[in-house]
Structure 1
Amino acid sequence: MALGRFISFEGIDGSGKSTQSRLLAESLRKLGHSVCQTREPGGSPGAEEIRRLVLEGDPDRWSAETEILLFTAARRDHLEKTIRPALARGEVVITDRFADSTRMYQGISRGDLGPLVNRLHDLMIGVEPDLTLLIDLDPALGLNRAVARAGAEQRFEDMGLALQIKMRAGFLALAAAHPERFRVIDGNRPPEAVAADVLGHALAHLALA
């Protein structure tokens, strides 16, 4: 997995990760990079099936422990079918969420399950991104944005503002603990300003690769 580079986007719901991951992929392609743009949960046929299970339905549909198993299964399929092959081809893999989201949503935000998330990750995944771009946003603004999308995948948004506040604090703590991997970007600005910072961090990282 040393040939390509692996970049993840993280943040609370409504932080703009999906938009920024798309914009970064477009910018890097224009600069001549081969890019694989993907997402979690999902990114492979099997993982997309699991996505529907975990993101749709009643907020109490699954326990946090069951969610950890489902997300890990989806991530393993994503890793096998999409991420590893793209990295082996020397591509820049850009994913909207990876294991840090499970560390937040299931690991700390719904119980003290962080050690379980990390044990399963070490056992079944064993990979961290080379660079993680954390889009930091006010939780109330992010939740309003996420709810306004009004799609079927609203299960976590329906858990309310308290979850988003706890997750933001958790993401920032994780970034502080791993400064070699994380770059924190202010998401409380117009998308084009955020995109400029994102591209700058990505190009600086790729120049060191």
Structure 2
Amino acid sequence: MTAWGEFTAAFLVFFLSHALPVRPPLRPRLETVLGRRGFTIAYSALSLAVLAWLIGAAGRAPFVPLWNWAPWQAHVPLVVMALVCVIVALAIGRPNPFSFGGSNNAAFDPQRAGLVRLSRHPLLLALALWSLAHLVPNGDLAHVILFGCFAGFAVLGMRIIDRRKQRVMGAEWQRMRTALAAGPLPPRPHNLPGTLLRTGLGGLLYLLLLGLHPVLFGVSPLP
């Protein structure tokens, strides 16, 4: 398989692995076999494995420069990824009826919306920031395609999920959105001790990614 062929195949597998398992009737069957939690773990592990392959394939693709690299560019993902890790830690498993990744959405309080007050789709926001930050120091064609597609997917995904949730929730979607917009700024956390703990975990995730980056992707993120 040629280098471009591997990159194309990795992209195709990545999108198929995200699209097929969550669509009916396949998801109910998988959840019956694996259980809901088992399905989530398996789906997440598959997503990470294919993502690692895709990023590696982009690195092995023919190098076609689109802009020159400069030392300052290496600092962009270093700074932005700290924010991304905190956003992910604050968003996963928190009530959020507007997007995916939430849990116990019935307990959502627009007056204590936390991060959702700033973005209805914090995980997609994290994906967009991750993509754009890595686009800066990776100005070759394969990585521009890779990170550009992820950024576009994140932005488009926000609009698609908004439309889907609005259709499913009906008038409740607009009522909750209005209540969310009228909430306090800065937003009140859902649970202050839990928020502080999650922020610390986000910092640990950031350090873990710094350490594992050379192992997983063959490149040190440090300047």
Q: Say yes or no: TM over 0.5.
A: no
TM-score (norm 1): 0.32
Q: Tell me which protein shows more strand as a share of its residues.
A: 1
TM-score (norm 2): 0.30
> Which has the larger Rg?
2
Q: Which has the higher contact order (CA 8 A, sep 6+)?
A: 1
Q: Tell me which protein shows more helix as a share of its residues.
A: 2
